[in-house]
Amino acid sequence: MTAPFRIKGLDHVVLRAIDISAMKRFYCDILGCVLERAQPDLGLYQLRAGQSLIDLVDMQGKLGRAGGRPPGIEGRNMDHFCIGIDPFQECELRAHLKAHGIAVGEVADRYGAEGGGPSLYIKDPEDNVLELKGPPS
């Protein structure tokens, strides 16, 4: 039986954060997200990432305290998530990330929602793995 809906795309991901300030700086200042909505009483900060959102939950806030142990090497939130970027200019991208002290993985052609294309892996300040993926080759 076919579902009575179609998936449009990634709406949002939610990351639990120990150092909310470092996470906001990483996603906004380095990757270019914009703080769209803040609910400090809940410890929730919603960042615009293109057509999607990245929600950061402060482990010291109401939502964070309700969610169990904080993220870490032995209790990761997820394997990784992928952010589509355009253009994918490897030299400029590497220089930008290196200027911010971010280790950059190998560029490879990987398959994603739009098909195969160049991508690389990085980590945010709390070791969540992000894939930055360019348009289809």
Whether 78 shows a pLDDT value over 80: the answer reads no
Query: Token match 């039986």: residue?
Result: 1
- From the list 31, 55, 52, the residue with the least C-alpha distance to 124 is 31
Tokens of 16: 């639990």
Whether 24 shows a pLDDT value over 90: the answer reads yes
pLDDT at 53: 92
For the question of whether the overall pTM of this predicted structure is more than 0.85, the answer is: no
Confidence of residue 79 (pLDDT cuts 50, 70, 90): low
Sheet with 52-58, edge to edge strand ranges: 12-17, 52-58, 44-49, 34-39
